[in-house]
Structure 1
Amino acid sequence: MPEARGPRVARVIVDTPLPQLDRLFDYAIPERLREQAVPGVRVTVPLRSAGRIADGYLVEVADDASFDGELSELDSVVSAAKVLTPEIARLARRIADRSAGSANDVLRLAVPPRMVRVEKAWLAAEHPAAPEEVPVRGVRGYRSALAEAIDTAGRVAVDAVPRLARTTAGEWVGAWAITLAELAARCVASGRSAVIAVPDYRDLDQLQAALRDAVPDHVLARVDAGQSNQDRYRAFLRCLEPSPVVVIGNRSAVYSPAHRLGLIALWDDSDPLHAEPLAPYAHARDVALVRAEDEGCALAFVSHTRSIEVQRLVELGWLTAHSPEPAVTPRVVVTAAQSGEQGPSRVPDGAWRAAKDGIAHGPVLVQVARPGYAPVLACATCRQAARCAKCQGPLGLDRAGAPPSCRWCGAIATGWECSHCGGTAVRLVTRGSARTAEELGRAFPGSRVIVSDGERRVTTIDERPALVVATRGAEPITPGGYRAVLLLDGDRMLARESLNVAEDCLRWWSNAASLAAPGAPVVLVGVAGPLAQALATWRQPAYASTQLADRRALKFPPAVRLASVTGTPKAVGDAVAALVAGTFIDVLGPTPVETRGAGRQGSGHPDAVRAIVRFDYAHGAAVASALRSAVVKAAAKGRKPRGDRGYRPPPTLRVRLDDPEIS
Structure 2
Amino acid sequence: MSSENGRDPGERGEQLALIRETVRETRAERAKPRTWRGAQLADALPVARVLVDKGPVHLDKLWDYAVPAAMDADARPGVRVRVRFGAGTGRVREGRREGGGLLDGYLVERIAESDYRGPLAALAQIVSPEPVLSPELLALCRAVADRYAGSLADVLQLAVPPRHAKAEAERFPEPPPPPAPPAPGSWARYPDGPAFLDALARGGAPRAVWSALPGPRWPGELAAVVAATLASGRGALVVMPDGRSAARVDAALTELVGQGLHTLLVADSGPEERYRRWLAIRRGAVRAVIGTRAAMYAPVADLGLVAIWDDGNSSHSDTNAPHPHARDVLLLRAVHEKAACLVGDLGRTVEATQLVENGWARPLEAGREQLRTAAPLIRTVDDVQAARDEAARVARLPTLAWQTARAGLARGPVLVQVPRRGYVPRLACERCREPARCRHCAGPLEARSNDTALCCGWCGRETPDWHCAECGGTRLRAQIVGARRTAEELGRAFPEVPVRTSGRDHVLDSVPDRPALVVSTPGAEPVAEGAGYAAALLLDGWALLGRADLRAGEEALRRWLGAAALVRGQAEGGTVAVIAEPTLRPVQALVRWDPAGHALRELAERAELGFPPVSRMASVTGRPEDVAELLRAAELPSGVEVLGPVPLPVPDPGRPRRPGDPQPGEQWERALVRVRPGQGAALAAALKAARAARLVKREGAAVRVRIDPPDLG
1:637 aligns with 2:637: no
Structure 2 CA distance for aligned equivalents of residues 344 and 527 of structure 1: 9
Q: CA deviation at 1:331?
A: 1.7
- From 628, 641, 649, give the equivalent of 1:573: 628
Q: Residue 9 of structure 1 contacts residue 63 of structure 1 at CA under 8 Å; is this kept in 2?
A: yes
Q: CA deviation at 1:129?
A: 6.4
Q: Residue 584 of structure 1 contacts residue 623 of structure 1 at CA under 8 Å; is this kept in 2?
A: no
Structure 1 CA distance for aligned equivalents of residues 63 and 479 of structure 2: 59
* Larger displacement relative to structure 2 (584-593 or 458-467): 584-593
Q: Percent identity?
A: 39
Summarize the Cα distance change of 1:482–1:596 in structure 2 as closer, same or farther, 3 Å threshold.
same
Structure 1 CA distance for aligned equivalents of residues 471 and 667 of structure 2: 32
Q: Residue 237 of structure 2 contacts residue 296 of structure 2 at CA under 8 Å; is this kept in 1?
A: yes
* Larger displacement relative to structure 2 (532-541 or 386-395): 386-395
* Larger displacement relative to structure 2 (566-575 or 405-414): 405-414
What does the per-residue CA deviation read over 1:9-55, in whole Å, with 9 as the maximum and x for residues that have no partner?
A: 32211111232211111223222222211121111223252343221
Summarize the Cα distance change of 1:222–1:379 in structure 2 as closer, same or farther, 3 Å threshold.
same
1:55 aligns with 2:95: no
Structure 2 CA distance for aligned equivalents of residues 539 and 129 of structure 1: 42
1:161 aligns with 2:221: no
Structure 1 runs not aligned, ≥5 long: 165-174, 640-648
1:109 aligns with 2:164: no
1:231 aligns with 2:273: yes
The number of aligned residues is 639
- Cross-structure match for 2:604: 549
What's the secondary structure of 1:161's corresponding residue?
Answer: coil
* Pairing 1:291-302 to 2, within 5 Å after superposition: 291-302=333-344
- Cross-structure match for 1:435: 485
Summarize the Cα distance change of 1:549–1:342 in structure 2 as closer, same or farther, 3 Å threshold.
closer
Summarize the Cα distance change of 1:409–1:314 in structure 2 as closer, same or farther, 3 Å threshold.
farther
1:517 aligns with 2:571: no
Q: Residue 178 of structure 2 contacts residue 230 of structure 2 at CA under 8 Å; is this kept in 1?
A: yes
Summarize the Cα distance change of 1:389–1:257 in structure 2 as closer, same or farther, 3 Å threshold.
same
Q: CA deviation at 1:407?
A: 2.8
Name the amino acid aligned to 1:132: P
Structure 1 CA distance for aligned equivalents of residues 199 and 576 of structure 2: 34
TM-score (norm 1): 0.91
- Cross-structure match for 1:621: 681
Structure 1 CA distance for aligned equivalents of residues 351 and 144 of structure 2: 18
What does the per-residue CA deviation read over 1:266-287, in whole Å, with 9 as the maximum and x for residues that have no partner?
A: 1100001111110011111111
Q: CA deviation at 1:361?
A: 1.7
Q: CA deviation at 1:545?
A: 0.8
- Cross-structure match for 1:448: 498
* Pairing 1:363-402 to 2, within 5 Å after superposition: 363-402=413-452
Structure 2 CA distance for aligned equivalents of residues 177 and 113 of structure 1: 30
What's the secondary structure of 1:344's corresponding residue?
Answer: coil
Q: CA deviation at 1:603?
A: 5.1
Q: CA deviation at 1:384?
A: 3.9
Structure 2 CA distance for aligned equivalents of residues 133 and 554 of structure 1: 49
Summarize the Cα distance change of 1:601–1:572 in structure 2 as closer, same or farther, 3 Å threshold.
farther
Q: CA deviation at 1:145?
A: 3.0
Name the amino acid aligned to 1:201: G
Name the amino acid aligned to 2:706: R
What's the secondary structure of 1:335's corresponding residue?
Answer: coil
- Cross-structure match for 1:168: none
What's the secondary structure of 2:588's corresponding residue?
Answer: helix
1:184 aligns with 2:235: no
- From 527, 534, 541, give the equivalent of 1:490: 541
1:504 aligns with 2:544: no
Q: CA deviation at 1:556?
A: 1.6
1:83 aligns with 2:128: no
Q: CA deviation at 1:226?
A: 2.2
- Cross-structure match for 2:8: none
Structure 1 CA distance for aligned equivalents of residues 320 and 131 of structure 2: 25
RMSD: 2.4
Summarize the Cα distance change of 1:332–1:342 in structure 2 as closer, same or farther, 3 Å threshold.
closer
* Pairing 1:316-355 to 2, within 5 Å after superposition: 316-325=358-367, 326-327=370-371, 328-336=374-382, 344-355=394-405
- Cross-structure match for 1:171: none
What's the secondary structure of 1:112's corresponding residue?
Answer: coil
Q: CA deviation at 1:329?
A: 3.0
Q: CA deviation at 1:385?
A: 3.4
- Cross-structure match for 1:72: 121
* Larger displacement relative to structure 2 (515-524 or 130-139): 130-139
* Pairing 1:193-342 to 2, within 5 Å after superposition: 193-325=235-367, 326-327=370-371, 328-336=374-382
Structure 2 CA distance for aligned equivalents of residues 562 and 538 of structure 1: 31
Q: CA deviation at 1:508?
A: 0.6
What does the per-residue CA deviation read over 1:411-461, in whole Å, with 9 as the maximum and x for residues that have no partner?
A: 433432334433111022332111111111111121111111112221111
Q: Residue 157 of structure 1 contacts residue 321 of structure 1 at CA under 8 Å; is this kept in 2?
A: yes
Summarize the Cα distance change of 1:548–1:135 in structure 2 as closer, same or farther, 3 Å threshold.
closer
Q: Residue 175 of structure 2 contacts residue 287 of structure 2 at CA under 8 Å; is this kept in 1?
A: no
TM-score (norm 2): 0.85
Structure 1 CA distance for aligned equivalents of residues 536 and 120 of structure 2: 68
Q: CA deviation at 1:140?
A: 4.6
The higher radius of gyration belongs to: 2
- From 640, 644, 650, give the equivalent of 1:589: 644
Name the amino acid aligned to 1:334: T
What's the secondary structure of 1:596's corresponding residue?
Answer: coil
- From 142, 147, 151, give the equivalent of 1:98: 147
Summarize the Cα distance change of 1:130–1:467 in structure 2 as closer, same or farther, 3 Å threshold.
closer
Summarize the Cα distance change of 1:581–1:40 in structure 2 as closer, same or farther, 3 Å threshold.
closer
Summarize the Cα distance change of 1:299–1:68 in structure 2 as closer, same or farther, 3 Å threshold.
farther
1:43 aligns with 2:81: yes
Name the amino acid aligned to 2:133: L
What does the per-residue CA deviation read over 1:522-573, in whole Å, with 9 as the maximum and x for residues that have no partner?
A: 1112331222111111111111111111111111222212211122333322
What does the per-residue CA deviation read over 1:457-515, in whole Å, with 9 as the maximum and x for residues that have no partner?
A: 21111111111111111111112100111111112221222111111110010011110
Q: CA deviation at 1:350?
A: 2.5
- From 519, 524, 543, give the equivalent of 1:474: 524
What's the secondary structure of 1:60's corresponding residue?
Answer: strand
